[in-house]
Structure 1
Amino acid sequence: MRAYRGRRTAVSAAVLSLAVFLAACGGDGRSSDSGGTGSGEGGFTVGLLFSQNVQTRWETFDKPLIEKRIKELCADCGVRYANAEGDVATQKQQAEGLINKGVEVLLLSAVNFRSLSSSVERARDAGVPAVAYDGLVEGPISGYVSFDNERVGRLQAEALLKALGDRADSGRIVMMNGPQTSPTNVAFKRGALSVLEGKVKIARTYDVQGWSQAKAHTHMEGAVAALGADGIDGVYAANDGLAAGVISALKAADIQPLPPVTGQDADLAAVQRIIRGEQHMSVYKPFKAEADAAAEMAVALGRGEKLDAIAETTLDTATAKDIPAVLLDPVPVTVDNIRDTVVKDGVYTIDQICTREVASACRNAGLAHG
């Protein structure tokens, strides 16, 4: 693998507050700086670009975990952050702004996997390596950190078939997929179909733009109208936001009992729905392991080091070959293993999960304090 070396620009020592939000990157998205700005030997700035904040995990877990690990690895390093809030043009402006501001590494989750290819090329030309986070990006990226996304889809589909049991042979399901604008989302769907096709009738399929909960609700209303209240035996929902929209539509149609519904990301609200019996399962992707690997890649690249000791494998895209990659294992979450997954890893406490509204269900699930 080619080793990239960032530009080393001597600057005066400065400390920026974690809470200060700046318009430094341009565009209408939100931006902030944290930590140092490259003061001291070995210090540099990492540009962190996220695509959206619809899913709570990004700014609740991923961002602070990445910032913390970068500071542990490089006390003099800083992070300049921007969130495009789902807008492609804004993210391109933010990427250009970060490069112009002198970041030495880009760590990015793209709104659209093709949309940032020109920015990644521009970064390469400026000597700034780019690491794709949680989803591939076209262009000459230097590293990739994510989960085995086809396995995510397979885990969801396997859980759905298991929940259907004998009904799978004659049953009908609805697929509520995310937008098919990135290899990640395509992989979720492909993994699910590899399990579901030939095992159950897929009566309706929707690709929900923007991961919109409201659109998922509307699509589910249409599915209920077309198939009938008794004509839906299960729902493959690609993430917890879509699951929430699906479940709200099913409840509005007074469908009881609710059919099994899948999810992904182990959002707090989804964990609570699982405990109440409204959502069958979610997929927990240990955010700390992903954030740590990404931070380690960013720091290594900023220091001009190879990624051999970090990357477990390589992969190819249409525009790049042999990309060093870390692919982590996702974990299915059901009511039976909440304590051993998201609670054990410190994502949520029992008190956070078992609020007053969920207390009775928590006791029934053996999760309450005494």
Structure 2
Amino acid sequence: MNTRMRRAAVAVAAGAMAVSLAACGSAKESSDKSDSSSSAKKGDAIKVGLLLPENQTARYEKFDKPLIEKKIKELTNNKGEVVYANAKQDASTQNQQVDTMVTNKVDVLIVDAVDAAAIKSSVQKAKDAGIPVVAYDRLAQGPIDAYTSFDNTTVGKTQGQALLDALGAKAKSGKIVMMNGSSTDPNAAQFKAGAHSVLDGKVNVGKEYDTKDWKPENANANMEGAITALGKKNIVGVYSANDGMAGGIITALKAAGISVPVTGQDAELAGVQRILAGEQFMSVYKPYAPEADAAAEMAVALAQGKSLSTVAKDKVDSPTTKAVPSVLVPVTSLTKDNIKDTVIKDGVYSISEICTGAYKAKCDALGIK
């Protein structure tokens, strides 16, 4: 995976790292969690439970899992063990996986929740068993000990601004469609809020959807419905919360003979190639290595009873827990103009992977050789 390792990201905004999410009224205080983990300090021979939410999005199996495994091996002198499970977008399955990890007495859990609220009771079970929990990528509810993700509101702002830039003077000449992510994912709400903060008053939103399970086929069906409701001549752009959904959206647009700017997120290979082809306007490049490294570092520290103060410089509130020690990773807008300086330069994809078949001419035209 060395060729897949991502380096430090290009920061979008200097203040992006100072995020504090709104907390509900009766939230419990969270502090440095080293005192809430198992009292017995452990050495390098730790067992880390890693629970990822689904395998339809390319990132989890291709980037997150191997990056976390590699970092934990580095931090534990190859003595640490990672026990892995993927919930395949089923919250009940993930809760059962947590129970199994608790039964098997892992030393720490890294959990990317399918459903941030549904995981709450399982997080509590882990806590009661003396197993600290790192919320990964999505802010899980319950007594989590640490959290790492990207600045999700800034992701939405980045997408919204890119769509405005693409529309230019045509921003209010018709309607845009907003294809948000799954309502069970707290990140989706933050992307949506960030996008609205930029777009509101500057575009006319004709249709807006929360897309069940982030599935491309659901986005495709929603887009077909939007085209029918609004009329294909009246749609000037589409806000898509990620690349997978953008693929489904673009399929529907092409079938209707519509060519308009479409946003995305995750810099998936197919998304990068659609950007090259002019079918998708942009994606949000999220460097997974810093996020994965932060999760591994916090997990190892918690398992070994060490302080998080040298790793987690931010604090984030969840609906149930205040001031969770956190690491927030900045992002950048990916367009055809900076493919070479981002995903290729950082070794995410090689030129040969991107510039295949029909995309080679597009690469040549942009000097990607």
- Give the 5 Å matches for 1:324-339: 324-339=325-340
Three-state SS of the structure 2 residue aligned to 1:356 is coil
1:35 maps to: none
1:22-44 per-position Cα deviation (integer Å, ceiling 9, x unaligned):
xxxxxxxxxxxxxxxx9xx4311
Residue aligning to 1:58: 60
For 1:335, give the aligned amino acid: K
- Give the deviation of 1:8 after TM superposition: 6.0
Please give the alpha-carbon distance, in whole angstroms, between the structure 2 residues aligned to 1:358 and 1:222. Answer: 30
Distance in 2, matches of 1:343 and 1:70, equals: 25
Equivalent of 2:87 in 84, 87, 105: 84
How many angstroms apart in 2 are the aligned matches of 1:359 and 1:8? 57
Between the aligned partners of 2:44 and 2:152, the Cα distance in structure 1 is 35
Provide the residue aligned with 2:191 in structure 1: 188
Aligned-residue sequence identity (percent) comes to 52
Q: What one-letter code is carried by the residue in structure 2 that aligns with 1:184?
A: N
Q: Map 1:1-370; keep pairs closer than 5 Å.
A: 1-3=32-34, 4-6=36-38, 41-74=43-76, 75-255=78-258, 258-367=259-368, 369=369
C-alpha RMSD over aligned residues:
1.3
Tell me the CA shift for residue 6 of structure 1.
Answer: 3.3
Contact 2:39 2:305 survives alignment (8 Å): no
Per-residue Cα deviation, 1:28-83 (whole angstroms, up to 9, x for no partner):
xxxxxxxxxx9xx4311000001111100001000000000000000211000000
**Cα distance in 2 between the residues matched to 1:204 and 1:45:** 47
TM-score by length of 1: 0.89
* Aligned counterparts of 1:70 and 1:7: Cα–Cα separation in 2: 21
Q: Secondary structure at the match of 1:140?
A: coil
Deviation at 1:265, TM superposition (A): 0.2
**Residue deviations 1:154-199 (CA, integer Å, cap 9, x gap):** 0000000000000113331000011122321100000000011100
Q: Is the 8 A contact 2:40 2:305 kept in 1?
A: no
Higher mean displacement: 311-320 or 104-113: 311-320
Q: Give me the whole-angstrom Cα distance separating, in 1, the residues matched to 2:33 and 2:150.
A: 24
Q: How many residues align?
A: 336
Per-residue CA distance 1:339-370 (angstroms, 9 max, x = gap): 11111111101110001121111112221x2x
1:74-119, Cα deviation, whole Å (9 max, x unpaired): 0211000000001111100000001111101000000100111111
Unmatched tracts of structure 2, length 5 or more: 1-31
Stretches of 4+ moved more than 2 A in 1? 4-9
Q: Distance in 2 between matches of 1:297 and 1:65?
A: 14
Letter in 2 for 1:228: G
CA distance in 2, matches of 1:299, 1:2: 12
Offset, 1:7: 7.1
The alpha carbon displacement at 1:221 in A equals: 1.0
Higher relative contact order (CA 8 A, sep 6+): 2
Unaligned runs of 5+ in 1: 10-37
